[in-house]
Amino acid sequence: MLTTPTLLVPAIAPASFSDGLNAVDGFIWSKYLLIPLLLGSGIILTWRLRGIQLRKLGPALRFAFLQRDGGGEAASAEGDISHYQALTTALAATVGVGNIVGVATAIHLGGPGALFWMWVTAIFGMASKYSEAFLAVRFRTTDANGQQSGGPQYYLREAIKGTPGKVLSIFFACSAVLASFGIGCMTQSNAVAAQLANSFGWSGWAVGLALALCVGAVLLGGIESIGKVTAGFVPMMIVFYVGGCLYILAVNASGIPHSLGMVFHDAFTARGATGGFAGSTLMLAIQYGVARGIFSNESGMGSAAIAAAAARTNHPARQGLVSMTQTFIDTIIVVSCTGLVILTTGTWTGDDPATMTGEAFSHGLPGTWGHVIVSLAIVFLAASTILGWAYYGERCVERLLGVHAVIVYRIIFTIFVFVGTVTELTDVWTFADIANGLMAIPNLIGLLLLSGLIARETRAYLLQDPHLRRAGDDFSSVPEVADTSLR
């Protein structure tokens, strides 16, 4: 989701500090670390799970959206929210400003071929998303308030025995808390305030106060409140935004074949500078496609697993299958629509990626509808991202400091929502980029170590329920594994 929005007030920051952050960010998201780790993990998990993201996508989509009661298990299963609410909470955190502006950034810096590598990341990332959601439910616990808690901050500790598991767990939790204030809070509220200031001249202070009050009111209700809110307006906003994209693509249908040709051709070749286009090489296309792809759908980062752990389910494979549809919706549908709109309207050759999607909608829709749709999409999708990441952060605070620290975190988080609307965030965006990468490293290590356990228990489940149609309490219990530290 990395992109620099229009900023509201000037900032004073030492160049050396910014340069240092950029250097760390460049190394973490380079071909030497996260890019091979992310793609490699997805490929290995896809192989061990026998391509589950392709074989079971249809049943998983049906189960997630047409059987919202969880196939009859809602009354008997442990959990705080439904499969569907867990899915929309995770979607709330991932489908945000990055899907609108982040895609433009990837294409601007990496060329049209970057969109192809975002697709590749999503396909293999679905296996990673399935795996982390599976483990989140498999090793979840109940906190002092009786709520389900899970995610990498727990399954790394419980499944990987000894000091290594504890270190990976704490490292992930600390990174997630830091990331929640960056990419999940201040950057999102800043984008909302900037969009409303640019579009309607609204004061950042007024927007910040209103947004902070709304977020605080929802957070007081916990995951049940967050789940109800996201289940209501996240699907509506996605349909609203995708509907606008489909209209533009229909109007510019003749340009779709050429745009797709550029995507596939430039994914494997270099493209020189054209007008305002910064130019790219094959490595840049891969680098920005993979990096922005993972920022868009968060597969492998472990964040969505935290929401999955709260789902009412009698088997971890069920929520894993539902959770992997999040990556499909986020990247294969929403990101693809944004990318093709930018390419077919020709705005991808502009100088400023922050305005490309808005310009594409303004050119593609009649009157001021394009302007209105982009403004509403940024406001509501950014607000939903704030809610999703607030839950991720509080669950990690609970892991580190206990349940009594959650209310303090909620108050501080709400204050930072306001701060983000009136503060310049150049270095905050880079810092959030780094924190997201640091989250992914321990989680991906854990997924690789536990891939055998995931594959074994997934096969056992699918033998009993290959089409996700049986009632939740019909399953034979999965035997506990005495030592899961090296699977």
Instruction: Report yes or no on 15 lying in a domain.
Output: no
Q: Which domain holds residue 281?
A: 31-69+83-464
Instruction: Report yes or no on 9 lying in a domain.
Output: no
Phi then psi dihedrals of residue 208, to 5 deg: -60, -40
How high is the pLDDT of residue 273?
36
Question: If you search the block for the tokens 């901050």, which residue do you land on?
Answer: 153
How high is the pLDDT of residue 77?
66
Instruction: Report yes or no on 483 lying in a domain.
Output: no
**Number of domains the chain is built from:** 1
How high is the pLDDT of residue 1?
41
The model carries a pTM of: 0.87
Residue 326, C-beta contacts closer than 8 angstroms, at least 6 positions apart = 87, 90, 91, 94, 129, 297, 304
Cβ atoms of 237 and 230 closer than 8 Å: no
Instruction: Report yes or no on 236 lying in a domain.
Output: yes
How high is the pLDDT of residue 9?
40
Instruction: Report yes or no on 379 lying in a domain.
Output: yes
Instruction: Report yes or no on 394 lying in a domain.
Output: yes
How high is the pLDDT of residue 4?
38
Distance CA 416, CA 208 (A): 9
Instruction: Report yes or no on 110 lying in a domain.
Output: yes
User: For position 441, which CATH number holds?
Assistant: 1.20.1740.10
Distance CA 385, CA 362 (A): 25
Residue 155: Cβ-neighbour burial (10 angstroms; 0-12, 13-18, 19+): buried
Q: What angle, 0 to 180 degrees and rounded to 10, lies between the N-to-C axes of helices 163-181 and 426-449?
A: 150
How high is the pLDDT of residue 84?
80
How high is the pLDDT of residue 477?
46
Say if strands 141-142 and 148-149 run parallel, antiparallel, or are unpaired. antiparallel
Instruction: Report yes or no on 6 lying in a domain.
Output: no
* pLDDT one digit per residue (tens) for the chain, 487 residues: 433 333 344 444 455 778 888 889 888 888 889 888 988 999 999 999 999 999 999 999 998 888 755 555 545 567 667 778 878 877 877 777 777 777 888 888 788 988 998 999 899 999 999 999 999 999 999 888 888 889 999 999 999 999 999 999 999 999 999 999 988 898 888 888 887 887 778 888 999 999 999 998 888 877 778 877 777 777 888 888 899 999 999 999 999 999 999 999 888 875 543 433 444 466 777 777 777 777 678 888 999 899 899 888 888 999 999 999 999 999 999 999 999 999 999 988 877 776 788 888 888 888 777 777 877 888 888 888 898 899 899 999 999 999 899 999 999 999 999 998 888 777 777 887 788 889 999 999 999 999 999 999 999 999 999 888 876 555 544 444 434 433 3
How high is the pLDDT of residue 485?
39
- Identify the sign of the CA torsion 420, 34, 111, 367: negative
How high is the pLDDT of residue 252?
92
Question: If you search the block for the tokens 């490293």, which residue do you land on?
Answer: 441
